[in-house]
Homo-oligomer: A and B are copies of this chain.
């Protein structure tokens, strides 16, 4: 008997459908909406958010949770109740007043951040950042007064993965990556085989070609452009956006492949579990492992470039002389001098993340005053990447993310580390996966990921899922091995 469970699941499916509906409104706003539509869209999103919150925090939800927890549940059902309990607790433990004030402050903070960045003046952002910090620490203490507030924040995005584990992995990455990046900096630069300008319409056609090669399911997806690429949707409708820059042909390709990876996760979730945690992605870190897997472990291999280069040449005869080896090397160029996270390459990217993580930790704990962030940032940049920002705009003001929350960056690196661990497992379990890439036969790789990651949805906790899929806990080893081997060979180290 699982009567309360069934009612609880119905309730949650409705909540999920409302959230998914908001997702479509957000996608439309980014991709389709005419500029003038903002006032109406804001009202729509805010109304949806309010009723979704009401549904989640209703007394009836608690009654059903309590009753379901007393029922005799299967393992899958118990996992569903665990997830709903967690969401309910997190939603109800924070007083409404705080939620509202936080929401108001976030909105203001975006304006202050924009101004501060434009004026290159951190002090204009500092007061509201301090207020946000206080409010978020208060919120974390409401959720769990006995734990480090930063851990609570981290678990907003990455439940069931210890921050300790992640920080240990970050230390290992630092130890491995800083010398590797140093060695690369001392090596000869790799020439850009795709130097030039590339018609944007032809780039869009190429992105479609690449998605065809990857066997993207157009019956359940679409490709559009937006200012910031993203994937939006679910197992029935997983849409990709990308962006095009006339001078950056490979940027659009890798961003398309990255978002394709996110889409494979959504499309690999169980159709019959739509709306249930069993049919939802585990976490943003696991999501990122799928995008990074396709972007890097498929899309930045020699074999991929052997496969895809003829198609690139069909769209751009101007690169007809480029060899697969040159394309492969260009796709893997390390530009260690970049100050900006979103422009960073596969290696230096993680130093941007580690830096943010360390700084956040310090100012959330109170060890670093908010006013000291710019100097701490610049020092770390110099230490980790050998470059020092000239301005706050290119330093600690570069990302809008702090207006939305703290502890939201680690997942990018968790994703890369997990992607490498998954690739290593696939190399053990599949016969010649690189050969499959060269042959454009992506089915077995994708099926493996679906079977071992996607189809579990949120059935397992994050650490369980990683063990289930790879046979061991999350570790930096595979990523470091992969990085040292690949870049060692490319840069002749």
Contacts and interface: CB of A to CB of B under 8 A. Distances in A.
24 contacts: A17-B40, A17-B43, A17-B44, A18-B48, A20-B40, A20-B43, A20-B44, A21-B45, A21-B47, A24-B24, A24-B28, A28-B28, A28-B32, A32-B32, A33-B237, A34-B218, A34-B237, A36-B217, A36-B220, A37-B236, A40-B234, A40-B235, A43-B275, A48-B48
Interface residues of A, number: 44
B44 A51 contact: no
Contacts of A55: 51
A-side binding surface: helix, strand, loop or mixed?
helix
Contacts of A43: 13, 17, 20, 274-275
Interface string A22-34: 0011001000111
A50 interface: yes
Given A237-B33, A237-B41, A14 B50 contact: yes
Given A17-B40, A37-B236, 13 more contacts: A13-B43, A15-B47, A17-B43, A18-B48, A20-B44, A28-B28, A28-B32, A32-B222, A35-B219, A35-B220, A37-B233, A37-B237, A39-B236
Contacts of A222: 32, 34
What is the oligomeric copy number?
2
Contact of A17 (B21, B46, B218, B219): B46
Interface in A358-408: none
Interface in A239-255: 239
A28 B51 CA distance: 22
A270 to B, nearest CB: 12
A271 interface: yes
Contacts of A48: 17-18, 21, 48
B18 A47 contact: yes
A323 interface: no
Contacts of A275: 43
